[in-house]
Chains A and B, each alone.
Chain A
Amino acid sequence: MSAALEVTDLSTEIQLSKSVVHAVGNVDLQIDLGETLGLVGESGCGKSMLGLSILGLLPPGGKIAGGSIKAGERELVGLREAELQKIRGNDVAMIFQDSQSSLNPTKTVGQQVSEPVRLHRGASRREALDRAYEVLDLVGMPQPKERLGVYPHQLSGGLRQRVMIAIALACDPKVLIADEPTTALDVTIQAQILSVLDDLRERLGMATLLVTHDMGVVAGRTSRINVMYEGRIVETAPTDRLFTAMRHPYTQALLGSIPRLESDNTKALVSIPGIPPDLTNPPPGCRFAPRCSRATTQCLEHEPPLSGDDAAHRFACWHPVDGPIVRRPDIVVHEPAAVVAAKAAANGHHLLEVVDAVREYPVTAGAILQRKVASVKAVSGVSIHLDVGETLGLVGESGCGKTTLGKMIVGVEKPDSGSIALEGKEIFRMHGRALRRARLDLQMMFQDPYASLDPRMRVQAILREPLVIQKIDNHQEQDRRVRRLLDEVGLPANALERYPHEFSGGQRQRIALARALMLEPKVMVADEPVSALDVSIRSQVLNLMRRLQAEHGMASIVISHDLAVVKYLSDRIGVMYLGKLVELGTGEQIYRQPAHPYTEALIKTIPLPDPAAERAKTEIGIRGELPSPVNPPSGCRFRTRCPRAQDRCAAEEPLLRRFGPHHEAACHYPLQPALGGTGDQAPETLPAAPSAAGHGSD
């Protein structure tokens, strides 16, 4: 039987004005009907270009330089555009990453889903709409009939992604290429979409190519995985063998570099040094050699062929490894700050105390008068505290208010009510000079390393800026500090004269970290510090952050949607949902004995880079979508998606209750009994106004 999709020796090149990018080099892969093949790699490794090559949708300047692509019996390379158009969306379909920009905002969902049916099947409007209804139902769209007439902007991200899948499936394709289908989505929605894809593959029996950077996504949903690095497939194996008995050092390091929930966060993550080479001028030998610890001169000079003991498991390496890394290195701390002493000296007073912080953004109507018609409840009465040298993680889906809370803590946003005090002083009530002075102690690290550095300033000026603004030290002394910190974050001294665009994402995040540390703040807020980075770079930055936290002894707040990242960096974790703090505890408490159903669901939905564990998952965690923060549900805000919800949850807002030392959760029907009572009533407070909830510090 021939494969549904067979790619042989495919090479794709992209011609730039002066150079040629060898995006895909000599790639072989095949997918049978009913099979899902995973294609894993970091950004820029050519995995998307491979997907686009198959569909003949290469960007301007891109061309297939050699090889063959066969869909069934049909050769796709060299087909005329008109012929390709007949195949695209019909025999071979694609799901793109960004449903926001991939759907046409001026056409209804029904029109968009029925369009391929009308084009390829010559169906009438009526028939095509019937088919659209069918596929929308198939992808699990709630109320598919009504949804035919709505526009994409009226749907949430998860539903839009379902529409994308419906469009791809409308003509019963034999081959489905899913390019990062869930990357833009929250974990709880990601789990839903992945299970839809899985379910559809089983029912429709198509061949699926799942392209992703996330090892967790492919672990439980594929039968084979190809690992791609710099345009080459470096290892291909059945999923289980890839995770348990990988042979390529890149695969090994990639898996070792992912922070895992169950892992010990006193150990460093495996990190791959350096950055991926430039594809316009790839190294002559093994492309991973410059970053590989096992590399020899042979690796640098001769490229290893894709070979192996048996046909199922092949790898391109001269000095293969045997299975995953067992022992991970300790975190090396150069000069730990006297945090313990400082902690003792603080005697009972918290360094930072947030009490009942509320922030609402007005929704206005009218162009001139801008009447306030509603408000987005970003943060609704959150109380947390932070001690000297401690790291608190904040985790939650997008829109849960974690970033707003972080911005209020550093004083970029002002709370509408409540108090935020650093060492007893409320920053947001300060003005002018006092505020500027107070800023010394609070620094922030931003999510997007591309946006957080001024593109018009050299690194030296960027790093010196905080000192200049705060008028600290003279020019020479500032220079010395800049150089010292640059060295601490692992960048060469020649970086000082360069502009931000000359650095890779990971390097920029190092610069951003150095800038945040420049003022020796007492509290640093890191907002999604690694979510914009590639997996191999992510572990470098995480290790660096952990080391510097210890060396500088500052307290920090780490905000992320990724529980594993937060757990790796933090002492305590706060779980937020729709503007509320629902659970607070140490990393182990949150992970081992979650009390709140949301926390439990969040843990369950995280895709694990472990095929056995992924397949063992039976339920998809949380159903439904995040409710609108403009009109949050009454009572417990999680009740609309909670499997344990009862009438009481709608009527009465749960307060934070104690479940152990440092462990609190706000739930009427928690997963474990609360301390001091069966949980009918909070110990000392009566259920009162919503803003009174979340009163919880030691």
Chain B
Amino acid sequence: MPPTAPEGGEVQIIASGWRLALREFLSNRLAVVGLVVIVFFVLFCFVGPLVYHTNQSLTNPLITDLAPGAGHPLGTDDNGFDELGRIMAGGQTALEIGFFASFIATVIGTLWGAISGLAGGIVDGVLMRAVDILLSIPYLLIVLVLATKYSATVFDESLIIGLFAWLVPARLVRGEVLTLRERDFVSAARVMGSSRARLVVRHLIPNALSVVIVNVTFQIADAILILAYLGFLGFGLQYPAASWGDMLGNAQQYVSSGYWWLVYPVGGCLVVVVLACNLVGDALRDAFDVRLRRR
């Protein structure tokens, strides 16, 4: 047949699925704001200290609890640390732990859920009841107990948070795999003689990925919040490492003294970062939905 007029009609070239999702994402103003905020905070926390040098390890009793002013734009805390520099340092740990914990949670959760969903039967029952049981134990309690038992470095803290945050992604991925495995393209791959491993790697995980990606953003937000709770309750990172939760916990006693600079800047940063993560997550979910709608 002539190459100019294929019998089946020309292919209408639409952007690829991911590009379509990206376009939809970018058309969401709030999401772009959220993304900009996250990028800003990453730069602020990691590049900021290179430009704005402060002492964050040696206490200086001479300059404790200074109000914002020259030399200390956001004042100093009760140890004489510069508050702005401390927010940067605390932001570093918050973001590091947020990303790392969500990474751990996502990897465990995705594998757990995918195996459970694909295997079905008894394996599925056992794996999912384990998730149910863990979900029914107050999460904060376990984390608190563990956090006191182990030395609290950034790595340990993210491991602890991550090890208990994978339950939600495990459920999500299992649900997704359960619907995916009944889809015809999975049957088609079976008819071709595909092995189970190939099914999981080539078909199930790539198609469940959008759910996972959306969940990652919420996981990051959650991890940052948990870290803040822990810090606030006094189980945060070991001194002199800073975290926003520790800072808020310390500031608690000074609220009545009118030291507002110890509370509002760091609290504001926490709220803004978590909100930005959630905005990005919501927009990603919409964006992936669009891709499916215009299939």
Are both chains from one complex?
yes
- Minimum CB–CB distance from B198 to chain A (whole Å) comes to 7
* A560 lies within 8 A of chain B by Cβ: no
* Pick from B6, B9, B207: contact of A504, CB under 8 Å: B9
Judging by beta carbons under 8 Å apart, are B11 and A494 in contact? yes
* Pick from A451, A501, A507: contact of B9, CB under 8 Å: A507
Interface flags, A506-538, vs B, CB<8A=1, else 0: 110010100100010000000000000000000
Nearest residue (CB) in B for A506 is: B8
Judging by beta carbons under 8 Å apart, are A451 and B185 in contact? yes
- Minimum CB–CB distance from A659 to chain B (whole Å) comes to 35
Cα distance A414–B194 in the bound complex, in angstroms: 17
- Minimum CB–CB distance from B30 to chain A (whole Å) comes to 15
Q: Which residues of A contact B189 (CB under 8 A)?
A: 454, 465, 469
Q: Which residues of B contact A506 (CB under 8 A)?
A: 8-9
Judging by beta carbons under 8 Å apart, are B295 and A455 in contact? yes
Judging by beta carbons under 8 Å apart, are A491 and B191 in contact? no
Cα distance A491–B1 in the bound complex, in angstroms: 10
Judging by beta carbons under 8 Å apart, are A502 and B14 in contact? yes
Judging by beta carbons under 8 Å apart, are B184 and A501 in contact? no
Q: Which of A211-250 contact B (CB under 8 A)?
A: none
Q: Which residues of B contact A549 (CB under 8 A)?
A: none
Nearest residue (CB) in B for A437 is: B193
Cα distance A506–B8 in the bound complex, in angstroms: 8
Q: Which residues of B contact A512 (CB under 8 A)?
A: 188
Interface flags, B252-295, vs A, CB<8A=1, else 0: 00000000000000000000000000000000000000011011
* Pick from B1, B5, B11, B27: contact of A498, CB under 8 Å: B11
* Pick from A274, A443, A453, A492: contact of B191, CB under 8 Å: A443
- Minimum CB–CB distance from A19 to chain B (whole Å) comes to 12
Q: Given A499-B16, A499-B17, A507-B11, is A412 in contact with B294 using a C-beta cutoff of 8 Å?
A: no
* A490 lies within 8 A of chain B by Cβ: yes
* A198 lies within 8 A of chain B by Cβ: no
Q: Which residues of A contact B194 (CB under 8 A)?
A: 465, 469
Q: Given A451-B183, A498-B13, A502-B14, is A412 in contact with B7 using a C-beta cutoff of 8 Å?
A: no
Cα distance A36–B9 in the bound complex, in angstroms: 36
Give the size category of B's interface with A: 35 or more
- Minimum CB–CB distance from B199 to chain A (whole Å) comes to 10
* Pick from B8, B16, B27, B203: contact of A491, CB under 8 Å: B8
- Minimum CB–CB distance from B185 to chain A (whole Å) comes to 4
Q: Which residues of A contact B11 (CB under 8 A)?
A: 491-492, 494-495, 498, 502-503, 507
Cα distance A494–B7 in the bound complex, in angstroms: 14
* Pick from B12, B27, B291, B292: contact of A17, CB under 8 Å: B27
Nearest residue (CB) in A for B208 is: A456
Judging by beta carbons under 8 Å apart, are B207 and A454 in contact? yes
Judging by beta carbons under 8 Å apart, are B203 and A454 in contact? yes
* A435 lies within 8 A of chain B by Cβ: yes
* Pick from B8, B27, B191: contact of A510, CB under 8 Å: B8
Judging by beta carbons under 8 Å apart, are A442 and B191 in contact? yes
Cα distance A503–B295 in the bound complex, in angstroms: 9
Q: Which of B174-195 contact A (CB under 8 A)?
A: 183-185, 187-195
Q: Which of B1-33 contact A (CB under 8 A)?
A: 1, 3, 5-14, 16-17, 27
Judging by beta carbons under 8 Å apart, are B193 and A469 in contact? yes
* A446 lies within 8 A of chain B by Cβ: yes
Q: Which of A458-481 contact B (CB under 8 A)?
A: 465-466, 469-470
* A440 lies within 8 A of chain B by Cβ: yes
Q: Given A17-B27, A490-B1, A499-B17, is A412 in contact with B191 using a C-beta cutoff of 8 Å?
A: yes
Judging by beta carbons under 8 Å apart, are B17 and A465 in contact? no
Nearest residue (CB) in A for B20 is: A501
* B206 lies within 8 A of chain A by Cβ: yes
Judging by beta carbons under 8 Å apart, are A446 and B8 in contact? no
* Pick from A444, A501, A515, A544: contact of B14, CB under 8 Å: A501
Judging by beta carbons under 8 Å apart, are A452 and B193 in contact? no
* Pick from B8, B27, B184, B207: contact of A490, CB under 8 Å: B8
* A436 lies within 8 A of chain B by Cβ: yes
Q: Given A439-B192, A501-B14, is A454 in contact with B8 using a C-beta cutoff of 8 Å?
A: no
Interface centre among A444, A452, A500, A502 (most CB of B within 10 A): A502
Cα distance A544–B7 in the bound complex, in angstroms: 10
* A78 lies within 8 A of chain B by Cβ: no
Judging by beta carbons under 8 Å apart, are B185 and A469 in contact? no
Judging by beta carbons under 8 Å apart, are A274 and B9 in contact? yes
* A410 lies within 8 A of chain B by Cβ: yes
* A489 lies within 8 A of chain B by Cβ: yes
- Minimum CB–CB distance from B176 to chain A (whole Å) comes to 13
Judging by beta carbons under 8 Å apart, are A540 and B8 in contact? yes
Number of residues in A with C-beta < 8 Å to the partner?
56
Q: Which residues of B contact A487 (CB under 8 A)?
A: 1
- Minimum CB–CB distance from B161 to chain A (whole Å) comes to 30
Cα distance A410–B294 in the bound complex, in angstroms: 32
Q: Which residues of A contact B185 (CB under 8 A)?
A: 451-455
Q: Which residues of B contact A453 (CB under 8 A)?
A: 185, 188
Cα distance A507–B9 in the bound complex, in angstroms: 8
Judging by beta carbons under 8 Å apart, are B188 and A446 in contact? yes
Q: Which of A259-277 contact B (CB under 8 A)?
A: 273-275
Cα distance A470–B193 in the bound complex, in angstroms: 7
Judging by beta carbons under 8 Å apart, are B206 and A456 in contact? yes
Q: Given A440-B193, A469-B194, is A491 in contact with B6 using a C-beta cutoff of 8 Å?
A: yes
Judging by beta carbons under 8 Å apart, are B6 and A490 in contact? yes
Q: Which residues of B contact A455 (CB under 8 A)?
A: 17, 185, 207, 292, 295
* Pick from A275, A278, A412, A499: contact of B190, CB under 8 Å: A412
Cα distance A502–B6 in the bound complex, in angstroms: 16
Q: Given A454-B207, A455-B17, is A507 in contact with B8 using a C-beta cutoff of 8 Å?
A: yes
Cα distance A56–B243 in the bound complex, in angstroms: 57
Q: Which residues of A contact B5 (CB under 8 A)?
A: 273
Cα distance A515–B189 in the bound complex, in angstroms: 10
Cα distance A507–B10 in the bound complex, in angstroms: 9
Q: Which of B102-132 contact A (CB under 8 A)?
A: 125
* Pick from A407, A411, A447, A490: contact of B7, CB under 8 Å: A490
Cα distance A407–B7 in the bound complex, in angstroms: 30
Interface centre among B9, B14, B292 (most CB of A within 10 A): B9
Judging by beta carbons under 8 Å apart, are B192 and A469 in contact? yes
Q: Which residues of B contact A499 (CB under 8 A)?
A: 16-17
* A151 lies within 8 A of chain B by Cβ: no
Q: Which residues of B contact A274 (CB under 8 A)?
A: 9-10
Judging by beta carbons under 8 Å apart, are B198 and A410 in contact? no
- Minimum CB–CB distance from A332 to chain B (whole Å) comes to 11
Nearest residue (CB) in B for A442 is: B191
Q: Which residues of B contact A411 (CB under 8 A)?
A: 191
Cα distance A435–B183 in the bound complex, in angstroms: 21
- Minimum CB–CB distance from B13 to chain A (whole Å) comes to 7
* A448 lies within 8 A of chain B by Cβ: yes
Q: Which residues of A contact B209 (CB under 8 A)?
A: 456
- Minimum CB–CB distance from A673 to chain B (whole Å) comes to 43
Judging by beta carbons under 8 Å apart, are B295 and A446 in contact? no
Judging by beta carbons under 8 Å apart, are A410 and B191 in contact? yes
Judging by beta carbons under 8 Å apart, are B191 and A450 in contact? no
Q: Which residues of B contact A451 (CB under 8 A)?
A: 183-185
Judging by beta carbons under 8 Å apart, are B192 and A501 in contact? no
Nearest residue (CB) in B for A438 is: B193
Q: List 20 A-B contacts (CB under 8 A).
A: A273-B5, A273-B7, A410-B191, A412-B191, A439-B191, A444-B191, A448-B184, A452-B188, A454-B185, A454-B203, A489-B8, A492-B11, A494-B13, A499-B16, A499-B17, A501-B17, A501-B291, A501-B295, A504-B9, A519-B192
B residues with CB within 8 A of A: 1, 3, 5-14, 16-17, 27, 125, 183-185, 187-195, 198, 202-203, 206-207, 209, 291-292, 294-295
Which 9 pairs, one residue from A and one from B, show the smallest C-beta to C-beta distance? Answer: A490-B7, A439-B193, A452-B184, A436-B193, A490-B8, A446-B184, A501-B295, A274-B9, A451-B184
**16 extra interface residue pairs, beta carbon distance < 8 Å, beyond A407-B187, A446-B184, A493-B3:** A274-B9, A411-B191, A443-B192, A444-B191, A447-B184, A451-B183, A454-B189, A470-B193, A487-B1, A489-B8, A494-B13, A498-B11, A503-B11, A506-B9, A507-B11, A519-B192
